[in-house]
Amino acid sequence: MAHGDGTRIATLWRLLLGFLLAVLVGGDAAGVPLVVGIDAHRAVSAGLARTPPMGWNSWNAFGADVRSADIRAAADAIVSSGMRAAGYQYVIIDDGWMAPARDADGNLRADPDRFPEGIAALAVYVHARGLKLGIYESPGLTTCQGLPGSYGHEARDAAAFAAWGVDYLKYDACSYLGLRPAATDARGWLVTGFTRMRNALDATGRPIVYSINPAAGGDPAAQQPWTWAPQVANLWRATNDHVPCWTSTEPLGGSTGGCVADNLGASSAWQRSGGPGHWNDLDMLTLGLTPDTENIVVQEIGAIATGSDTTRLDDTEARSELSIWAMLASPLLAGNDLTRTDASTRAILTNRAVLAVDQDPLGAAAVRLSRTDGLQVWTRRLAGGDTAVLAVNPTATARTANLTAAELSLPTATRYQAKDLWTGEVAASTATADVALPVTLAPHASAMLRLVPDYGPPHTAVHGGVDRRGGATAAVQAEVESGDHLVLALHPSWSTFRADTIWRNWTDLPRRYAE
């Protein structure tokens, strides 16, 4: 087949796919009625983001000047630094990747100077390293940087992303908020705009993680996306733009966020809305950013928030930032220049014990405890019966506390063992009634612990017989001293009996054992 014939066929195929998607998602024209939540489409993305996405985003380091070489270098660094092995997988190109105008047929184009090979070739490069590619767009006429938005082109753009091999879309409100007709419900306008692209993505048949930022532009109606976004997206921004500072002195457009500690108290409002497949997004991590390695927009926001032109996190604050993001089950997207990462930042980003809390498959919400001593303390139930505990000192003076089993509302167990997730130290097993976790925290420091229960041996004979689930797993239940039930799972494919974890009931039993 001649090269020209192949090009013409590819062009015709793209046009046909665009037409089909226009029919399926309600068209590309503004004002066309939208069917929200098409079941046949949603099946495509139903299994996405079962744990918070982890990866890297280009914005904080490179802004709108990002180039193909930056993305390739970041992908290589994720592999060589051990970040891929620790769970980071998405390489996301933020605003700035597209040409200033669409082509004559209305298609998005990569900037020919900064992305000369195009996005499809870049996706091949990223995929070859065992990673996934993310890209950026807006439901408005233009992006936040004034480049072509997807308004009126949703199906066409979704088809392009799928054809290029994109795995993740960050969709930023930007100019869309200003398009709302007078007397139109603000919340309905947001739901419609963001759902239109969700349906368009799913209609392509390619699973694409969908990240939205409805609060861009400071629209008050968008400041509680957790009340509607779980039905639309895999993750949504719950805070303002995040910059490398500990606490802000000035509000940013009336929204929560800006600096690390700004999100501590606000999390109670939205924390319970997250879970497998839908997550509250605290924005990109800022640890590792320095005044000479961050883009000018990040510097400007930091100056507005704090009154300082040289904001950055020290190592103590960086550990607290990752701890907070992990405890609150936020997506973890590094934002520093990975080719200039020092050993300390790399060690923080790849702390697998902390990352495991963020990635816990149960996806339970963290619960904030009521305290009057200046400390912020959360607990979070983890799969298998463990409990994560995070204590943060947001103040400028050192604080001490003694956390007890009663205060932490620990599930009944014979004993508990505590592991410090930053130092690796493991405390001796302690009877539940005697659990007391002393913490001494410097200003802006945090302590993150994992409490592992020991329920002790069963004291009575097995009762209830054998319970088979789906014909695959046999299990017996034995009463333990606390009155709870120990569930032991035995799969026919196992050569020996396996009961390395204790579950309270079938609800807690991990899917791989219960099916």
Query: Which residues are catalytically annotated?
Result: 172, 241
- Cross-strand bridge partners of residue 417: 452
And the tokens for 363? 């996806």
Q: Which residue type sits at 210?
A: Y
Q: What strands, in cross-sheet order, belong to the sheet with 90-92?
A: 279-281, 235-237, 209-213, 168-172, 132-137, 90-92, 54-57, 332-334
DSSP for 134-146, please give it.
Answer: EEEE-SSSB-TTS
Cβ–Cβ < 8 Å for 376, 416: no
Closest listed residue to residue 451, CA positions, set 423, 481, 421: 421
Burial class (CB in 10 A: 0-12, 13-18, 19+), 44: middle
Contacts 24+ apart (CB under 8 A), 15-19: 15/105, 17/159, 17/163, 17/204, 18/155, 18/156, 18/159
- Cross-strand bridge partners of residue 279: 235
Q: Is residue 1 helix, strand or coil?
A: coil
Q: Is residue 392 helix, strand or coil?
A: strand
And the tokens for 409? 């509302």
User: Dihedral of the CA atoms 79, 81, 87, 93 (nearest 10)?
Assistant: -60
Rounded to the nearest 10 degrees, the angle between the axes of helix 154-164 and helix 118-127 is 40
> Could you give the CA distance from residue 272 to residue 131 in angstroms, rounded to a whole number?
30
In this structure, the number of other CB atoms found within 10 A of the CB of residue 216 comes to 24
